[in-house]
Amino acid sequence: MEPQERELITTLLTRLQSAAGQPKDAEADAMIRQAMTQMPDAPYYLVQTVLIQDLSLHNAQNRIAELEKQVASLNPPQQQPTSFLGGLFGRSQSPPPAPSAPSSGGPWTRVQQPAPPPPQYQAGYAQAGYAQPGYAAPAAGVFGGGAGGGGNSF
């Protein structure tokens, strides 16, 4: 065994010891204990698998951070355009900045990110592509008037 491998195993076992005492699912615990009696080498392979996956995760996180830095250096921040009518017609919102990847600690230090909110629609208007029952499609034109002039214009 290499010294680096010894350190990785020791670190993993220390993290597992810190999790001791937490509540366990009784059925899962019994199932795992039964499997250990049938496969005495399973802990060896489980530790090996966890270490490989943890190293792969760290490598992927580092690569993502590197690529995000490259993208950020290629796309300088742009100023928000001003609006003649003060944003009366709405503004496109840029997505919030992505959180930076944790540099160490593996999956035990990650924080679950909340899901983005659903898109908001103005009351009384159907979502694009879906008609509201009992309502005709809106007439074309800047102020809602149709091409024929009809009786519904100002």
pTM for the whole thing?
0.47
Residue pLDDT, tens place only, 24-83:
999 999 999 999 999 999 999 999 999 999 999 999 999 999 999 999 888 766 666 677
Q: DSSP letters of 80-128? A: PPP-TTTTTT--PPPPPPPPPPPSSSGGGG--PPPPPPPPP--TT-PPT
Give the confidence band of 88 by pLDDT, cuts at 50, 70, 90.
Answer: confident
